[in-house]
């Protein structure tokens, strides 16, 4: 059996199914590029038939990514499969990922199909897909709660039809490591042609065991592909966290004996990018990528680490991409220095016009803030709309006053459909007044689901990064805004969220469909 563990990243598909994590095409392309730098083996770029937006995004990513296999999800029917194959056409290497539920509950209540019908449809779908590609993954959805005999029958048939990867999803996250691992082992032992496919794990984190279950699937079950997401993003409580899987396998190579192709120094930049784009903050005590993951607070631990690092550290912070906050640029830095730093950070901007726009944002920031860190540059680029993005709303300026005992008042100037407008309003606090001022002109009627502020670097001179989550008519969107002034950052975040609500190509949240 191979000792290579395939890392299949599904941040752009399963990860996007987190309520509020919907991303624009441009945001997904940025993440896909970062996943390529991270050297994941497979990028699941979306679900082509779920919306035109997803189709176009998969098509665009397929044309850009060269070093990873690009994959689209598809239901087990001809239309979905053809659409996915069409979206993947430009890819250097592509995969169709076909799924069909096999648990008694899903077959009866959701699909309203008999087991025989499901068996036939699974076979037929792979036969159809086989005409389009020879890289086919099949997932029996809710596989972990399916009947073992039935699962063996279906999986044997789909392998015979040409499926090359068999994924075993714990769709509802009810698995227990030992049982999940043994279920894969049993499947591989009982299915006569099981050696013709690579076995894969796909675990949800409803009981906090997604990583443990996936690793058991690898160790006990012999799976050689792990499906996972950056920061464990995914439906409900999330999916399996890529960074934890990779570092577990690398750090405990003595136990797992497997190789992964990941460039671990890109883990923290990937985590930051996904967090910044989705607005899903990483909890400080999150393994590997949390702010405290390498912080030693107790005196005994600090003393130990100073004497010998491995007394309390099993991984090196720099190996997963943690860099000390470095002052990289300042007010006097020129365009070339800025461009070079972008290159060093692995950031590719599509055109000179985009570089110019980002550079002028950098200059504005350098006027407000003496020291510019890598994190600031990443935020500048992250929040700069792509050249082709026609934005309905754009922040121009803000004035607000608040004093103890007085009701805060804000005046916000922004462009709306190309025309500059000024909104004014009071509020419970300066942020509330600012958002009310915008809303007085836009009248979106959107419901605010979340407001959060995070400091991009340390200290009170840091830029604030604000996330606003809005919901309207089945769409849940996040807007992110950064600025040294958190009230201005709030206005930018609110306008960014309104832009997404306004973009009708943005698909409905899966929970609302
Ligand atoms: O959780 C799940 O079952 C899935 C499948 C589509 C693989 O995401
Ligand atoms: Zn899933």
* Residue 278, C-beta contacts closer than 8 angstroms, at least 6 positions apart: 15, 18, 20, 21, 23, 233, 478
Torsional sign, CA 23, 25, 31, 35: positive
- Name the more confident of 313 and 76: 76
Q: Give the pLDDT confidence score for residue 300 in this predicted structure.
A: 77
CB 406 within 8 A of CB 356: no
Q: What is the helix (H) or strand (E) element at residue 496, kind and residue range?
A: helix 486-502
d(CA 396, CA 413): 5
pLDDT of 281 over the 60 cut: yes
- Name the more confident of 198 and 333: 198
Parallel, antiparallel, or unpaired: how do β-strands 419-426 and 409-416 relate? antiparallel
Q: Give the pLDDT confidence score for residue 506 in this predicted structure.
A: 55
User: Which region among 11-15, 281-285, 287-291, 345-349 has the lowest average model confidence (pLDDT)?
Assistant: 345-349
Band of pLDDT at residue 347, cut at 50, 70 and 90: confident
Q: What is the helix (H) or strand (E) element at residue 101, kind and residue range?
A: strand 94-101
d(CA 416, CA 393): 5
Name residues with Cβ closer than 5 Å to ligand 2, which is an ion: 14
Instruction: Give how far Cα 16 sits from Cα of 19, 25, 354, 417, 509, Å.
Output: 8, 12, 26, 28, 9
Band of pLDDT at residue 342, cut at 50, 70 and 90: confident
pLDDT of 48 over the 90 cut: yes
**SS3 category, 4:** strand
Is ligand 1 within 6 A of the CB of residue 180?
no
Is ligand 1 within 6 A of the CB of residue 141?
yes
Structure tokens at 236: 């409900």
Is ligand 1 within 6 A of the CB of residue 44?
no
pLDDT digits (tens, 9 = 90+) for 376-435: 887 888 766 555 556 899 999 999 999 999 999 999 999 999 999 999 999 999 999 999
Q: Give the pLDDT confidence score for residue 59 in this predicted structure.
A: 98
Rounded average pLDDT over 455-465:
83
Structure tokens at 152: 């063996």
CB 259 within 8 A of CB 5: yes
Number of the ligand 1 atom closest to the C-alpha atom of 235? 1
Number of the ligand 1 atom closest to the C-alpha atom of 169? 3
Query: φ and ψ at 94, to 5 degrees?
Result: -135, 160
pLDDT of 182 over the 90 cut: yes
Instruction: Give how far Cα 392 sits from Cα of 385, 415, 417, 443, 496, Å.
Output: 12, 7, 5, 14, 9
User: Which region among 131-140, 333-342, 489-498 has the lowest average model confidence (pLDDT)?
Assistant: 333-342
pLDDT of 90 over the 90 cut: yes
pLDDT of 145 over the 70 cut: yes
Is ligand 1 within 6 A of the CB of residue 171?
yes
d(CA 67, CA 12): 17
CB 329 within 8 A of CB 337: yes
pLDDT of 127 over the 50 cut: yes
Angle, CA 364 vertex, CA 348 and CA 479 arms, to 5°: 65
Q: Give the pLDDT confidence score for residue 460 in this predicted structure.
A: 82
pLDDT digits (tens, 9 = 90+) for 203-248: 999 999 999 999 999 999 999 999 999 999 998 999 999 999 999 9
| Atom 5 of ligand 1: nearest residue by CA position | 141
d(CA 400, CA 398): 7
Band of pLDDT at residue 326, cut at 50, 70 and 90: low
Is ligand 1 within 6 A of the CB of residue 139?
yes
Q: What is the DSSP letter of 109?
A: I
pLDDT of 97 over the 60 cut: yes
Query: φ and ψ at 480, to 5 degrees?
Result: -120, 135
Mean pLDDT of the chain: 91
Distance 35 CA to ligand 2 centre (A): 19
Is ligand 1 within 6 A of the CB of residue 146?
no
High-pLDDT (> 90) share of the chain, %: 68
Query: φ and ψ at 41, to 5 degrees?
Result: -85, -40
Q: Which of 47, 41, 66, 454 lies closest to 261 in space, CA to CA?
A: 41
* Residue 55, C-beta contacts closer than 8 angstroms, at least 6 positions apart: 46, 48, 49, 83, 86, 87
pLDDT of 505 over the 60 cut: no
**SS3 category, 188:** helix
pLDDT of 157 over the 50 cut: yes
Distance 300 CA to ligand 2 centre (A): 42
Q: Give the pLDDT confidence score for residue 511 in this predicted structure.
A: 43
- Name the more confident of 382 and 491: 491
Q: Which of 228, 223, 184 lies closest to 203 in space, CA to CA?
A: 228
Q: Give the pLDDT confidence score for residue 513 in this predicted structure.
A: 40
Band of pLDDT at residue 442, cut at 50, 70 and 90: very high
Number of the ligand 1 atom closest to the C-alpha atom of 167? 7
Is ligand 1 within 6 A of the CB of residue 99?
yes
pLDDT of 49 over the 50 cut: yes
Q: Give the pLDDT confidence score for residue 323 in this predicted structure.
A: 72
| Atom 1 of ligand 1: nearest residue by CA position | 171
Number of the ligand 1 atom closest to the C-alpha atom of 14? 8
Is ligand 1 within 6 A of the CB of residue 13?
no
Is ligand 1 within 6 A of the CB of residue 14?
yes
d(CA 314, CA 304): 13
Structure tokens at 149: 């005999």
Burial (CB < 10 A; 0-12, 13-18, 19+), residue 284, is: exposed
């Amino acid at each position: 059996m191979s000792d290579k563990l395939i890392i299949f990243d599904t941040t752009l598909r399963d990860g996007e199914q987190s309520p509020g994590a919907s991303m624009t095409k441009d945001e997904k392309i940025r993440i896909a590029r970062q996943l390529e730098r991270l050297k994941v083996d497979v990028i699941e770029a979306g679900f082509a038939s779920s919306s035109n937006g997803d189709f176009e995004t998969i098509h665009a990513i397929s044309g850009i990514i060269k070093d990873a296999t690009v994959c689209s999800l598809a239901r087990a029917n001809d239309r979905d499969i053809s659409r996915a194959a069409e979206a993947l056409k430009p890819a250097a290497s592509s995969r169709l990922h076909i799924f069909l539920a096999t648990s008694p509950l899903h077959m009866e209540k959701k699909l309203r199909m008999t087991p025989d019908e499901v068996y036939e449809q699974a076979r037929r779908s792979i036969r159809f897909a086989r005409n389009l590609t020879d890289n086919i993954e099949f997932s029996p959805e809710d596989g972990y709660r399916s009947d073992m005999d039935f699962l063996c029958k279906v999986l044997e048939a789909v392998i015979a039809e040409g499926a090359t990867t068999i994924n075993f999803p714990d769709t509802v996250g009810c698995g227990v490591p030992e049982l999940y691992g043994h279920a894969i082992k049993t499947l591989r032992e009982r299915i006569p042609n099981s050696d013709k496919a690579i076995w894969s794990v796909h675990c949800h984190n409803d009981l906090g065991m997604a990583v443990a279950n996936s690793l058991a699937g690898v160790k006990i079950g012999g799976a050689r592909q792990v499906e996972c997401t950056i920061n464990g993003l995914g439906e409900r409580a999330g999916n399996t966290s890529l960074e934890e899987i990779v570092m577990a396998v690398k750090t405990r190579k003595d136990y797992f004996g497997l190789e992964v192709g990941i460039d671990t120094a890109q883990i923290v930049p990937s985590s930051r990018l996904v967090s910044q784009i989705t607005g899903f903050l990483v909890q400080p005590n999150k393994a590997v990528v949390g702010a405290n993951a390498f912080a030693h607070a107790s005196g005994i631990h600090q003393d130990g680490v100073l004497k010998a690092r491995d007394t309390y550290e099993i991984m090196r912070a720099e190996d997963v991409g943690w860099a000390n906050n470095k002052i990289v640029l300042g007010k006097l830095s020129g365009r070339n220095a800025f461009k070079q730093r972008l290159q060093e950070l692995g950031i590719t901007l599509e055109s000179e016009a985009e570089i110019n726009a980002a550079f002028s944002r950098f200059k504005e920031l350098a006027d407000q803030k003496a020291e510019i860190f890598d994190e600031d540059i990443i935020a500048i680029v992250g929040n700069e709309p792509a050249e082709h993005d026609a934005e309905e709303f754009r922040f121009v300026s803000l004035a607000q006053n608040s004093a103890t005992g007085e009701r805060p008042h804000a005046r916000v100037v922004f462009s709306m459909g190309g025309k500059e407008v000024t909104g004014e309003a009071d509020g419970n606090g300066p942020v509330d007044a600012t958002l009310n001022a915008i809303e007085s002109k836009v009248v979106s009627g959107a419901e605010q689901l979340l407001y959060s502020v995070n400091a991009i670097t340390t200290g009170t001179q840091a830029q604030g990064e604000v996330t606003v989550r809005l919901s309207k008519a089945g769409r849940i969107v996040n807007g992110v805004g950064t600025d040294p002034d958190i009230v201005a950052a709030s206005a930018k975040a609110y306008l960014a969220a309104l832009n997404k609500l306004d973009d009708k190509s943005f698909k409905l949240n899966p929970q609302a469909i």
